[in-house]
Amino acid sequence: MVPTRFYFSNAVGSVDFVPHSYVYLHWSGEPLTSGEFRALYSHVRNLLERYKLKAILADHQAMPTAPDEADREWLLEQWLPETIAVTALARYAALPTPDPARRLHTEIVLNGLCRHLEVAVFEDLDQASAWLTAA
């Protein structure tokens, strides 16, 4: 994977970025809270807007549990439309956790993202990074 720069972190994850390319969101493995989950995505939006980035690499391999339904709805119905309105976000690469019970990227979430963005799911960070930087 291309080297990243640190931007923000809290107990549940970190937001880094590749200048002129994409945001790298990854999870710490600590138990999720709604506030910290939403804070990470809020910082993702700030970073996309501030640096005019067009893509997200969301590495969910260490995600300990799937976010609750209210947070998934917030992500698709509030965060995503607001983020698209103020940024150039166009691509979303996801690395799901191997455990289907802990996945954020259920069919509902992927279908919601696909209505607005070009989305791809990968098993390898280097492949996801290459896909994002090739655009």
Which residues, 6+ apart, have CB-to-CB distance to 52 below 8 Å? 87, 88
The percent helix, strand, coil of the chain (3-state, each to 5) is 40, 25, 35
Joined together, the tokens standing for residue 5 give: 């720069």
Query: What's 117's DSSP letter?
Result: S
- The topology under which CATH files domain 5-133 is Transcription Regulator spoIIAA (3.30.750)
pTM above threshold 0.75: yes
Residues 17-31: tens digit of each pLDDT: 999 999 999 999 999
Query: Is pLDDT above 90 for 38?
Result: yes
The residue extents of the domains of the chain are: 5-133
The answer to whether 65 and 56 have CB atoms below 8 angstroms apart is no
The answer to whether 101 and 63 have CB atoms below 8 angstroms apart is no
